[in-house]
Amino acid sequence: MQKLIIPFLSLAILAGCSGRNNLSDAYGNFEAIEYLISAEGQGKILSFDLEEGSVLSKGQIVGYIDTMALYLQKQQLEAKIKAVVAQRAGVHARIEVQKTQKNTMLVEKERMEKLLADGAATGKQMDDLMGQLAIIKKQITATGSNYQTIAAEIVALQAQVMIIQDQLRRNTIINPVDGTVLEKYVEPYEITAPGKTLYKIADLNTMILRVYISGDQLASVSIGQDVGVIIDDAETVQVPLKGKVTWISGKSEFTPKIIQTREERVNLVYAVKVEVPNDGRIKIGMPGELIL
């Protein structure tokens, strides 16, 4: 047990010294998953309550876009729906009247058939009655068709109201993720449109160290592996942190161009991402070192 503790203590001591460079297995820079939040609505920005450095939570309302035009369109559609509903009621009443007329004619038809059998009515009277009955049936069919058309129009208008409601919802600027505002691109009273970027946000609680390892080191790295990470907290102090490997590139690439020497540029390396909990000291772009 002591044989295992002694090397670990030695490693921790060496990590705090300026001469610990030989302990590092890879070098890279910290990054974060950044989100560009765009407008979904169109119009003048009435309020935009955030600044660079603001910490936002998911679902938080950060601004509003003018919705007056949409509100008036919604009112117009709702008034039209009321008018069409009233029209549908009138058509329904007309259908009921026509059905009553039809029932009356059917009773008259039975009476006419008896009179015709007794010779008290003529065939022409019967033909006239049958013609009137055929006409009223066609009128009922036509009026019923109008009723269905009006019902479909109401459904279409209600769908338009739902579209307006969705647009009204989109004119409320809601932050979609937890994070810190990195950049702000618009100000209140500016005109925006769908797709226009409003701000950039990233979750800085967990940072990602992207490093590059050689093919010889690849066998000693696996996804989910706990590793050590070193950052420069001051000119002469290096702070050891804990990290976890979350991604290993499936293909090799040439050493990134930040490596200037020709000999090192031609070497093939593999990109690796390491998640590191951030206590506030790690910043985007800060260099870091990996210890396997």
Give domain 18-33+203-291's CATH superfamily. Answer: Efflux pump adaptor protein, beta barrel domain (2.40.30.170)
- Residue 50: how many CB atoms within 10 A of its CB? 19
Q: Give the burial string for 183-203 (b: 16+ CB within 10 Å, else e).
A: ebebeeeeebeeeeebbbbbb
CATH 1.10.287 residue spans of the chain: 68-170
Check residue 264 and give its pLDDT.
Answer: 53
Q: Name the region of 270 (left: φ>0; alpha: ψ -120 to 50; beta: rest).
A: beta
Check residue 60 and give its pLDDT.
Answer: 96
Check residue 13 and give its pLDDT.
Answer: 35
Under-50 pLDDT residues of the chain: 1-21, 260-262
Whole-model pTM: value is 0.68
Tens digits of residue pLDDT in 71-85: 999 999 999 999 999
CATH 2.40.50.100 residue spans of the chain: 36-66+172-201
Check residue 18 and give its pLDDT.
Answer: 40
**Alpha-carbon distance 129 to 126, whole Å?**
5
CATH 2.40.30.170 residue spans of the chain: 18-33+203-291
Vertex 54: Cα angle to 50 and 58 (nearest 5): 85
The percent of residues above 70 in pLDDT, for the chain, comes to 86
Query: Which stretches of 121-177 are DSSP H helices?
Result: 123-170
CATH of 36-66+172-201 among 2.40.50.100, 2.60.40.2250, 3.40.220.10, 3.40.228.10: 2.40.50.100
68-170 maps to which CATH number?
1.10.287
